Amino acid sequence: MLVELLIVFALMAAGLVFLVPDEYAGQFAAVLSLVPVGVSLWMYSIFDGTGNALLEGGQPAFETVANWITLGPYAISWHVGLDGVSMPLVVLTTLLTTLAIVSAWTPIDERESQFYGLVLFMQAALIGVFAALDFLLWFVFWEAVLVPMYFLIGVWGGPRRKYAAIKFFVYTNVASLVMFAGFFTLVFGLGDSISTLGLPAIAQALEAGQLGSVGGFGPGTVKLAAFAALFFGFAVKVPVVPFHTWLPDAHVEAPTPVSVLLAGVLLKMGTYALLRFNFTMLADVARANAALIAIFAVVSVIYGALLALAQQDLKRIVAYSSISSMGYVILGLIAFTPHGVGGATFQMVSHGLISGLMFMAVGVIYNETHTRMIGDMSGMADRMPVTAGVFVAAAFGYMGLPLMSGFAAEVLVFMGAFRSTTIPMAPLFTGIAMFGIVIVAGYLLRAMQKTLFGPFRLETDYEIGRAPLQDVAPLFVLLALVIALGVAPDLFYRMIQDAVFEVTALGLGGGA
Amino acid sequence: MIPLQTQSTLPDWAALAPTLLLGLTALALLLVDSIDPDDDSPGLLAGVATLGSVLAMVVTGWYLVAGTGMPRTGGAIELFNGQLVVDGMSLFFTFIFASVTALVSVASYDYLADRAHQAEYYALVLLAATGMTLMASANGLATAFVALELSSLPSYGLVAFLKNNRGSVEAGLKYFLIGAVSSSVLVYGISLVYATTGVMKLPAIATALGGGVAGQGTLGVLGVGILMVAGGFAFKTASVPFHFWAPEAYEGAPAPISGFLSSASKAAGFVLAFRVFVTAFPLEVVAGTLDWTLAFTVLALVTMTLGNFAAATQENVKRMLAYSSIGHAGYALIGIAIVTGTANQGYALGASMLHLFVYGFMNTGAFLFVALVEYWGVGRTFEDYNGLAKQAPVACFAMTIFLFSLAGLPIGGGALSKWALLSATASAATLSAYLLAAALIVNSALSLFYYSRVVKAMWIEEPAGDFEVSSYPTGLYAAVVGAAIVTFLLLPAFGVVSGTAFDAAAALF
């Protein structure tokens, strides 16, 4: 019942915050959001799931199944549960929500109660996405995330917010639709062999080779088509180059706290779904097309990093670097080795923390200076030493400094990918992807050098002083977490390994 | 009191209690008015109308739970020598009519403030609702025609209710003229069917056709007759080819009436079409004459595409909702278009019934929000809605639920009823069913575009002028928020309704 408690509490909190007066909304929302943090940490401490929730032998923790509706031949259930992949992501979601709420106290100064209400509503939906084990239930949460995000960008965003919000909404909705159609092709193909839309049932039916033909196309074609549709649907969300163009607009226009959630959690929906659907349910198709997917991954890494290198806006730099980091996740997933898939999952959490930290640090600087352009400022370390220090730490985390979580994640991914037998010429792909780190170092060092160091200069009319405690405190919390996970990756990696180990053995028998 | 026991002690005519309640409420309203015609206490009139429709709703809900007319309690109850029938489907639709009537009555309390002839307004609404419930129960072509007229004639008057408003009067006239034409088409179709079979009752027609009464020479006559009957129903459901009246009538009519017509009246057209085609013209009997599923497939495709494309180009919110209502008629037609004998027929029909059920709340709610905006004196275009959420966040929140639910996002029951339709087409597994599924998906995607324009205007755009919302009318707010709560609750609690709908639809075959 704990998953339900999380979701229902977040929904009720959203409703309450929507109704309180604007002056208290921020504080009230932060206090309320501490409850999901506490509950999720407690759930983490008593976590007893084993194996992968989708596969035979896996036993998710906190599982509940209750009949919801019956649509024709399919029983749709309220089916939730957490395994080693989803548990860390739920913890990530609750933590980042609280921190994002606190970091919103300074920049958000109109319609506060609506803002915090939407953030909490989105939290409920995000937990649902990671916990749902029934397709329609999962899809309900998946779509429900989009609605608050649309408003958060559209109402509280920057000058071009309307354009960015619509672009985000249209891109992701079209992607959802294609993905939905792709998944239902699979369901039709499975025919009578499934009686529910539960993800485990479908994964196991596919594994057992129950897929029939649909509309005259054989199982192989159906699988390939479904894989392509699902991959497209999730690739937009991740985003993978060339489906990434919504991301910079959304990030640049979104207010900082929303960027934190967008980069920290929403992008992970895409990689999480890729892992669940494309790389678990349709593992054999993924293996058969490993070279192509690895190319997508490597192109995302390099091209994303090059795009970041060309930016002058600090926020754009961080936004594009997310594309590059997500490329590592895809590379790790397609490697189909325990360290590859495990490292990719670990990278989802790690990147959530580090990119959240980077966006917040940029946000703190922006709150004081009201500019994010590299050329407009220099020597900020002089006036904002604490913030600058955290920024430097975060940047090194991004570059993969040992003892920070980014290092652990990337090392695991590279180790896994290097030894992969699934990707043809794996060392070559891995080598090119590793080169991405060099570019990352390049643009982050350049950005820091120009903005933080050197003589103080600022080309705006704002008085600048030390950032208030409420802005800086979330930075330290995140930094502590990044270091903690870097020193002791096993905090999450052990349960992740347990959950993904089975996945790496999938698809070898070759169904299609 | 255990419902099942009570059931056996009630006389058969008690099954018509919802219809009788609605009819008596209409008479009571006229009585109240005639006692003191000069008293303009709209509270009393609106209260009586609401009370009557809520009572009808409660009784219907009780019957549905108790299983009146369902196979598990002895099957459909036939009344008046089989001219009327009360079964799960008629009760299910009666519930839709009664709840929409209740919403409209509550909302009209504010909308009609300071207008003359309020008693007539409420009485006409309730008479139309009575006619609709009779359409749901009609088991003979003659009864069907009379019931259809009983629901149509008050509607003409209601559309033209704002008689000093040119738009309203024009809409009423247009509605009346097209209604008259389509009624004559329907009655001519009925006469042709009667000419070939010699009977009026629906089951008797099927028996007669199955017995080969229709000679080879009259097959053509029968085919034309069936097509004309279908045309008559297309008017009531605002489907192609008799949809022309809908945008004008919905735009010109008082907004609560637009909601009433586009939700309840449309559903009434559908229940009649379902019953007549499934009971009187079963496909296996008339297949040699006319494959009407093909006709309905074409109608569904054209109706949903035309409705959605036209809605996408509108600048006026009410007109956009009117065209989207045509689009939804197309979705609901899917259910009858895939009743092909091979598919799970009860499931297909049940999915359509569910869509109409959810639609009853989300669409009525959307029109009532438009009524609220008209009450405030805000304009009707998308731009006029700019920044409304700053003034009225609660109402705009409700409207957002309606619009996203109409578009099929899982914020309300609309998503689930569309999924039910989608999986019904999958179970039919024919080429035309796949075509319908594809059209449903594409049109839903398109509809998200124009629905979200309203959402964007309300929440994201800056208000154009210094518009101040002066008052927050209780009745309209209650109706809008109530409809939003039901729309949202239909997402988690969809199973409560869906079981009844599928059972009721399955019992028809």
Contacts of B409 in chain A (CB under 8 A): 143-144, 146-147
E-assigned strand segments in B287-379: none
Q: Is the pLDDT of residue A510 over 50?
A: no
Contacts of B456 in chain A (CB under 8 A): 154, 162, 165-166
Nearest to residue B423, comparing CAs of B354, B509, B500, B325?
Answer: B354
Residue B74 and residue B83: Cα distance in Å, rounded? 18
The Cα-based distances of B233 to A89, A243, B63, B144, B243 in angstroms read 53, 46, 27, 11, 11
Supply the Cα-derived Rg of chain B in whole angstroms: 22
What is the pTM for the complete model shown? Answer: 0.88
Query: Which pLDDT band, with edges at 50, 70 and 90, does A351 fall under?
Result: very high
Residue B404 and residue B439: Cα distance in Å, rounded? 19
pLDDT attached to residue B222: 85
Taking an 8 Å Cβ-Cβ cutoff, which residues of chain A contact chain B?
18, 67-74, 111, 114, 136, 139-140, 143-144, 146-147, 150-151, 154-155, 161-162, 165-166, 169-170, 173-174, 177, 180-181, 184, 187-188, 215
pLDDT attached to residue B342: 61
Rounded to the nearest angstrom, the minimum Cα separation between A473 and chain B is: 31
State which residue of chain A sits closest to B343, comparing Cα positions.
Answer: A72
Rounded to the nearest angstrom, the minimum Cα separation between A157 and chain B is: 10
Cis before A468? omega within 30: no
Determine the average pLDDT of the residues in B11-32. Answer: 89
Number of A:B CB contacts under 8 A?
73
Residue A269 lies in a domain: yes
Rounded to the nearest angstrom, the minimum Cα separation between B415 and chain A is: 9
Contacts of A72 in chain B (CB under 8 A): 344, 347, 420, 423-424, 427
| A14 Cα distance to chain centroid | 22
Contacts of B422 in chain A (CB under 8 A): 184
pLDDT attached to residue B259: 92
pLDDT attached to residue A503: 87
Rounded to the nearest angstrom, the minimum Cα separation between A287 and chain B is: 30
Contact check, Cβ <8 Å, A147/B411: yes
Average pLDDT score over chain B: 87
At B85-143, the pLDDT tens digits run 999 899 999 999 999 999 999 999 888 887 888 888 999 999 999 999 999 999 999 99
Instruction: Give the closest of B390, B420, B429 to A71, CB-based.
Output: B420
Contacts of A155 in chain B (CB under 8 A): 459-460
The number of beta carbons lying within 10 Å of the beta carbon of residue A118 is 23
At B321-375, the pLDDT tens digits run 999 999 999 999 998 888 876 657 888 899 999 999 999 999 999 999 999 988 8
Taking the alpha carbons at both ends of chain A, their separation in whole angstroms is: 39
Counting every residue, how long is chain B? 509
Determine the average pLDDT of the residues in A166-170. Answer: 86
Contacts of A180 in chain B (CB under 8 A): 441
The Cα-based distances of A278 to A183, A197, A295 in angstroms read 10, 16, 16
- Region of B81 (left: φ > 0; alpha: ψ -120 to 50; beta: rest) is left
Instruction: Give the closest of A67, A74, A144 to B411, CB-based.
Output: A144
Tokens 């008689």 label which residue? B163
Torsion of CA B331, B333, B335, B336, to 10 degrees: -170
State what percent of residues in chain A have pLDDT above 70.
Answer: 99
pLDDT attached to residue B496: 85
Q: Is the pLDDT of residue A378 over 90?
A: no
Rounded to the nearest angstrom, the minimum Cα separation between A326 and chain B is: 28
In DSSP terms, A71 is beta-bridged to: A74
In DSSP terms, B138 is beta-bridged to: B84
At A489-503, the pLDDT tens digits run 999 999 999 898 888
Tokens of B19: 């219809």
pLDDT attached to residue B213: 61
Contacts of B434 in chain A (CB under 8 A): 215
User: Residue B452: what residue type?
Assistant: S
Residue A51 lies in a domain: yes
* Maximum C-alpha span of chain A: 72
Total domain count, chain A: 1
In DSSP terms, B86 is beta-bridged to: B77
State which residue of chain A sits closest to B419, comparing Cα positions.
Answer: A71
Domain containing A70 equals 2-505
Rounded to the nearest angstrom, the minimum Cα separation between A140 and chain B is: 5
State which residue of chain A sits closest to B404, comparing Cα positions.
Answer: A147
Rounded to the nearest angstrom, the minimum Cα separation between A181 and chain B is: 9
Contacts of A146 in chain B (CB under 8 A): 409
Contacts of B498 in chain A (CB under 8 A): 69-71
Tokens of B201: 């009752």
B67 vs B187: which has the higher pLDDT:
B187
Nearest to residue B406, comparing CAs of B367, B354, B451?
Answer: B451
Contact check, Cβ <8 Å, B445/A173: yes
Instruction: Give the closest of A73, A136, A215 to B419, CB-based.
Output: A136
Which ranges constitute the DSSP H helices of B211-291?
Answer: 219-237, 245-252, 255-260, 266-275, 283-286
Q: Is the pLDDT of residue A39 over 90?
A: yes
Contact check, Cβ <8 Å, A177/B445: yes
The Cα-based distances of B212 to B194, B201, B227, B277, B281 in angstroms read 14, 17, 20, 18, 13
pLDDT attached to residue B343: 57
Q: Is the pLDDT of residue B163 over 90?
A: no
Nearest to residue B307, comparing CAs of B197, B439, B163?
Answer: B439
Average pLDDT score over chain A: 89
Nearest to residue A428, comparing CAs of A316, A295, A332, A328?
Answer: A295
State which residue of chain B sits closest to A69, comparing Cα positions.
Answer: B495
Is there a contact between B102 and B54 (Cβ–Cβ < 8 Å)?
A: yes
Rounded to the nearest angstrom, the minimum Cα separation between A497 and chain B is: 34
Domain ranges of chain B: 291-509
Supply the Cα-derived Rg of chain A in whole angstroms: 22
Determine the average pLDDT of the residues in A183-190. Answer: 84
Is there a contact between A227 and A187 (Cβ–Cβ < 8 Å)?
A: no
pLDDT attached to residue B6: 47
Contact check, Cβ <8 Å, B410/A154: no
Considering A371-380, A466-475, B89-98, the range whose residues carry the highest mean pLDDT is B89-98
Determine the average pLDDT of the residues in A106-130. Answer: 92
Instruction: Give the closest of A71, A139, A181 to B423, CB-based.
Output: A71
Contact check, Cβ <8 Å, B393/A154: no
Contact check, Cβ <8 Å, B460/A139: no
> For strand A74-82 and strand A61-71, is the pairing parallel, antiparallel, or unpaired?
antiparallel
Contact check, Cβ <8 Å, B423/A143: no
Tokens 């559908």 label which residue? B270
Contacts of B352 in chain A (CB under 8 A): none
Which of A71, A110, A166, A176 is the best mutation test for B, with the most CBs of B within 10 A? A71
Q: Is the pLDDT of residue A328 over 60?
A: yes
Residue A355 lies in a domain: yes
Contact check, Cβ <8 Å, B494/A146: no
Which of B345, B391, B460 is the best mutation test for A, with the most CBs of A within 10 A? B460
Contacts of A173 in chain B (CB under 8 A): 445, 448
